[in-house]
Amino acid sequence: MSPSKLDSTDSFGHEEASVSCSKPENGCVDSLSIFHSEKAVEELLQQTPVAGMDEHLIEFSEALRTVAKALRRAAEGKASAQAEAAEWKRRYELERTRNIQMEQKARMAEQFSAEKNGDLDCERVKNSDNQSMLQNESNEHSETGCMKHGIWSHEVLRDRESDSNSNADRNKIMRKASFKLSWWCNGENGDQHKHDIVSFERGNITTAERSSKQISLKWESDPQTVLILTKPNSVSVRILCVQMVRWLRERKKLNVYVEPRVKVELLAESSNFSYVQTWKDDSEISHLHMKVDLVITLGGDGTVLWAASMFKGPVPPIVPFSLGSLGFMTPFHSEHFKDCLDSVLRGPISITLRHRLLCRVVRDAAKNEYETEEPFLVLNEVTIDRGISSYLTNLECYCDNSFVTCVQGDGLILSTTSGSTAYSLAAGGSMVHPQVPGILFTPICPHSLSFRPLILPEHVTVRIMVPFNSRSPAWASFDGKDRKLLAAGDALLCSMAPWPVPTACQVDSTNDFLRSIHDGLHWNLRKTQSFDGPRDRDL
């Protein structure tokens, strides 16, 4: 019996099946023919065997099983090939559409740059774009808006999931909404003026690089004038000051400014220090930032605070030498002052921009919040406390006119991130990297278990008000000085000052900060666990 063709009945009277295969299409077997052929094979194999069946029929049944497996593999291969072809087609269409959109955006950018004032007639742009899009093979659609005072973003996307639907569904367009961003300021007289940049790329918002990144200072011209500020009543500081002034003048040929008190001490040491300059009254201090290129402090963190308080506006770079009890902001050591100053004067150097708070007291009798007393600039913190009163402070706190909470306790600390390791840390606040722009909101001994410290963003204005139902007034101090009485109805406004204090780094801002909390606070210092104790057993 030929294996390629069977009669309708065999010698045993059983009905046989006819196996046929349709003509292959694109190198693959037709799936319908495969289904019928495999079904015929299964029916033949399911017939009840008869005793004494010829061995040739047994061999033929095994051959049919092999054919059925081959047909199944062919069907699976065809389905896989069709899926792969569809995926490559989809990728090709996606890449083709993306290239067309990039060409359209390039043409629109050329049109905008060709205009003198940057303003285009919206209708003319739309018509020209529509004409250029009709010439594309993909029939893509796009819209553009006219840009005058800001940055527009408009993206046209095609719904890829509709490719398998009808022609009308394939041409379905999803338009991404356009938008324009602008910086909000609290009135013309407000102090929340920001100059950051927001860039747009295909409708996505990315922020510009901020001052929180590591900053390097490079001199455009050689420094000419140096101001030296010293800690008073210290013999070691006085000796170092004499050596430093002489070295800066003789070796570096720099003009040296000192405080009037220090000049008297230098002249008492030797009359050769007559070249040292100083000021006569406080009115000349306001112009120091226009004369001084560099400030050198000899002392501790208190001397750095004193140097920052002298400048009510821009502050020259400060090189702080550690000659005090604390050194969170004084990374340089006096033993190697010549090498340190030589490196700083040569440049470039890494600096830390330490933000300051601008504080204003608004009395109850004031007509508006801009009728204030002389503002204060603080580098560490402003503290509102109950003073000598035995009653709890009662303070209403607002953030950009939004109510925050009511403080009932010993007081409140509004700190910069540079001051996070000072009074705020002692009151339970977090230690924050000094270049993180923010305002720390730390209560002092609050009469509440759930009052936790906050960190507010730099652009907000915090208003602390003494309510009329308060039993006692409050007192405000600015970097531990200049205490002001806050009576009922008075308010204190605090916002980030536009003039930071740049301090030179020995390595970089992060390395100096971590080293200061390790050395100054012995942060997380404990004995290391012994290695020869009991251990977990291996499972």
Nearest residue to 463 via CA among 191, 204, 237 = 191
Q: Which of 103-112, 385-394, 466-475 has the lowest mean pLDDT?
A: 103-112
E strand residue ranges, 55-152: none
**Position 163 confidence tier, pLDDT thresholds 50, 70, 90:** very low
Q: Which tokens is 390 given?
A: 């035995």
Binning pLDDT at 50, 70 and 90, where does residue 20 land? very low
The residue type of 429 is G
The DSSP 8-state label assigned to residue 284 in this structure reads G
Residues in CB range of 56: below 8 A, 6 or more apart: 1
Residue 450, pLDDT score: 94
Residues 173 and 142: their CA atoms lie apart, in Å, by 9
Burial (CB count <10 Å: 0-12, 13-18, 19+), residue 476:
buried
Structural domain containing residue 266? 217-352
- CA-CA distances (angstroms) from residue 379 to 213, 399, 419, 495? 20, 20, 7, 12
pLDDT at 284 over 50: yes
Q: What is the pLDDT of residues 165-199, one digit of tens each?
A: 545 554 555 555 655 556 555 544 544 444 444 44
User: Which one is predicted more confidently, 199 or 296?
Assistant: 296
Q: What is the mean pLDDT of residues 109-125?
A: 54
Region 119-141 average pLDDT: 46
Q: Are 346 and 364 contained in the same domain? A: no
CA distances from 405 to 284, 324, 396 (A): 43, 38, 6
User: Does residue 403 sit in the same domain as residue 475?
Assistant: yes
In a domain, 192, yes or no: yes
Region 398-404 average pLDDT:
93
* pLDDT for 106: 76
Name the residue with higher pLDDT: 22 or 537.
537
Considering only 45-54, 99-108, 376-385, which range has the smallest mean pLDDT?
45-54
Mean pLDDT of 373-399: 94
- Residue 446 falls inside a structural domain: yes
pLDDT (tens digit, 9 = 90+) per residue, 86-100?
Answer: 777 877 787 788 788
Higher per-residue confidence, 10 vs 204: 204
Residue 44 belongs to what H/E stretch?
A: helix 31-45
Placement of tokens 């285009």 in the chain: 120
Let me know whether 385 and 474 are in one domain. Answer: yes
**Does residue 294 or residue 94 have the better pLDDT?**
294
494-514 pLDDT per residue, tens: 999 999 999 999 999 999 999
pLDDT at 377: 95
State whether the Cα torsion 388-393-396-397 is positive or negative: positive
Residue 221 lies in a domain: yes
Residue 236 φ/ψ, nearest 5 degrees: -65, -40
Give the distance from CA 127 to its chain's centroid. 41
Give the end of a domain, one of 159, 175, 204.
204
Instruction: Out of 68, 99, 130, pick the residue that ends a domain.
Output: 99
Distance CA(364)–CA(402), nearest Å, equals 20
Phi and psi at 252, nearest 5°, equal: -100, -10
The CATH number of residue 453's host domain is 2.60.200.30
pLDDT tier for residue 205 given thresholds of 50, 70 and 90: low
Are 132 and 93 in a shared domain?
A: no
Pair 246, 184 in one domain: no
Instruction: Give residue 144's pLDDT.
Output: 39
Whether cis (ω within 30° of 0) applies to the bond prior to 348 is: yes
Task: Tell me what the mean pLDDT of segment 34-42 comes to.
Answer: 57
Is residue 94 located within the same domain as residue 167?
Answer: no
Give the CATH number of the domain where residue 222 resides: 3.40.50.10330
Per-residue model confidence (pLDDT) at position 362: 92
Displacement of CA 267 from its chain's centroid (Å): 51
Boundary-marking domain end, from 99, 132, 152: 99
Whether the pLDDT of residue 202 is over 70: the answer is: no
Q: What is the pLDDT of residues 412-442, one digit of tens each?
A: 999 999 999 999 999 999 999 998 989 999 9
Q: Give whichever of 32-36, 116-120, 147-151, 347-351 has the largest mean pLDDT.
A: 347-351
Q: What is the pLDDT of residue 133?
A: 47
Q: CA 517, CA 260: separation in Å to the nearest integer?
A: 34
Residues 344 and 407 in one domain: no
**256 and 345 together in one domain:** yes
Q: Has residue 392 got a pLDDT over 50?
A: yes
Same domain, 366 and 412: yes
Catalytic residues: 301
| Same domain for 269 and 175 | no
What are the structure tokens assigned to 508, written together? Answer: 């970089």
pLDDT at 89: 81
265 inside domain: yes
- Highest mean pLDDT out of 7-16, 215-224, 248-257: 248-257
The verdict on residue 243 lying in a domain is: yes
In the predicted structure, residue 211 carries a pLDDT above the cut 50:
no
Q: How far apart are the first and last CA of the chain?
A: 68
Co-location of 363 and 462 in the same domain? yes
Mean pLDDT, residues 515-521: 91
- Residue 339's pLDDT band (boundaries 50, 70, 90)? very high
Domain presence at residue 345: yes
Residue of 84 and 454 predicted with greater confidence: 454
Q: Which of 20-34, 131-145, 224-238, 275-289 has the highest mean pLDDT?
A: 224-238
Domain assignment present for 148: yes
Instruction: Enter the tokens of residue 290.
Output: 């226009």
What are 454's strand-pairing partners? 441
pLDDT at 37: 58
How high does pLDDT run on average in the chain? 77
Q: Is residue 508 part of a domain?
A: no
Which residues lie across from 29 on neighbouring strands? none
The answer to whether residue 252 scores a pLDDT higher than 70 is: yes
pLDDT, mean of residues 187-212: 49
- CA-closest candidate to residue 451, choices 417, 415, 405: 405
Domain co-membership, 347 together with 361: no
pLDDT of 312 above 80: yes
Number of domains present in the structure of the chain? 4
Residue range 46-86, pLDDT digits in tens: 555 544 556 777 777 778 888 887 887 887 778 777 777 77
